[in-house]
């Protein structure tokens, strides 16, 4: 909260000048997402402002500058990949699928040739993608920062694509370790 207050002050604004909130909803670290979403929930509730969510995978696909059937991939650790499939047009992305893939599933997705481009946000995946020997064009890209989230979020806010404070939730894609390793797993 002090960082947000300092940022507003440096630019001559107060919290009341805010018209809405754009928040990165994941995938990402469980703790990081919970802290960020909790802060936005609190501010939106107190200020009665709308919230929109932006997936990191969506931001990666949109920030690539590509159009068409675009996949975005991030290293999820544990030899797994966060995968998002989008139809990108005019700076907007419509999600058709988001999932957690094994390296073998990732290679199969690339070899089917149904994508216009794969945007990779982590250097660790470049070698894996190139070894898949698919026909998909691979484009490395930096992970999107807050300015990309804000730009996409602004478009969504203006279009009325918002969520309530109660409905705001993280897009973890992977289950938490507590869920994975609990004795009562199904």
Q: Is the dihedral of CA 62, 39, 164, 50 positive or negative?
A: negative
Q: Are 173 and 27 in contact (CB under 8 A)?
A: yes
Per CATH, which fold does 57-140 belong to?
Nucleotidyltransferase; domain 5 (3.30.420)
* DSSP assignments along 21-80, one per residue: EEEEEESS-HHHHHHHHHHHHHHHHHHT--EEEEEHHHHHHHHT---EEEEEEEEEETTE
Which tokens in the block code for residue 134?
């698919």
pLDDT tens per residue across span 18-46: 999 999 999 988 888 999 999 999 999 99
Residues carrying CATH 3.30.420.40, the chain: 2-55+145-181, 57-140
Query: Looking at residue 181, what is its pLDDT?
Result: 67
The DSSP letter of residue 163 is: B
How many other β-carbons are positioned within 10 Å of the β-carbon of residue 57? 28
pLDDT tens per residue across span 123-165: 888 888 877 666 678 888 988 999 999 999 999 999 999 999 9
The b/e string for 83-107 (b: 16+ C-beta within 10 A; e otherwise) is bbbbebeeeebeeeebebbeeeebb
Domain 2-55+145-181: CATH class, spelled out: alpha beta
Which tokens in the block code for residue 139?
């484009």
What is the pLDDT confidence band of residue 166, given thresholds at 50, 70 and 90? very high
More confident residue, 17 or 116: 17
Angle at CA of residue 179, ends 52 and 54, nearest 5°: 15
pLDDT (mean) for 48-58: 96
Rounded distance between C-alpha atoms, residue 68 and residue 164, angstroms: 30
Q: Are 83 and 108 in contact (CB under 8 A)?
A: no
């Amino acid at each position: 909260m002090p960082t947000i207050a300092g940022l507003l002050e440096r630019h001559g604004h107060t919290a009341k000048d805010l018209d809405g909130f754009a928040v990165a909803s994941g995938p990402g670290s469980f703790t990081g997402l919970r802290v960020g979403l909790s802060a936005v929930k609190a501010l939106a509730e107190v200020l009665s402002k709308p919230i929109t969510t932006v997936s990191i995978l969506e931001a990666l696909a949109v920030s690539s500058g590509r159009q068409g059937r675009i996949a975005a991939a991030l290293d999820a650790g544990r030899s797994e990949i966060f995968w998002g499939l989008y139809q990108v047009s005019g700076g907007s992305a419509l999600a058709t699928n988001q999932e957690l893939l094994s390296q073998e599933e990732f290679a199969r997705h690339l070899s089917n040739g149904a994508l216009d481009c794969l945007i990779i946000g982590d250097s660790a995946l470049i070698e894996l993608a190139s070894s898949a020997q698919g026909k998909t064009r691979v484009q490395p890209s930096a992970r999107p920062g807050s300015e990309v989230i804000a730009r996409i979020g602004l478009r969504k806010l203006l279009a009325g694509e918002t969520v309530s404070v109660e409905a705001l939730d993280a897009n973890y894609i992977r289950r938490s370790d507590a869920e994975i390793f609990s004795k009562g797993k199904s």
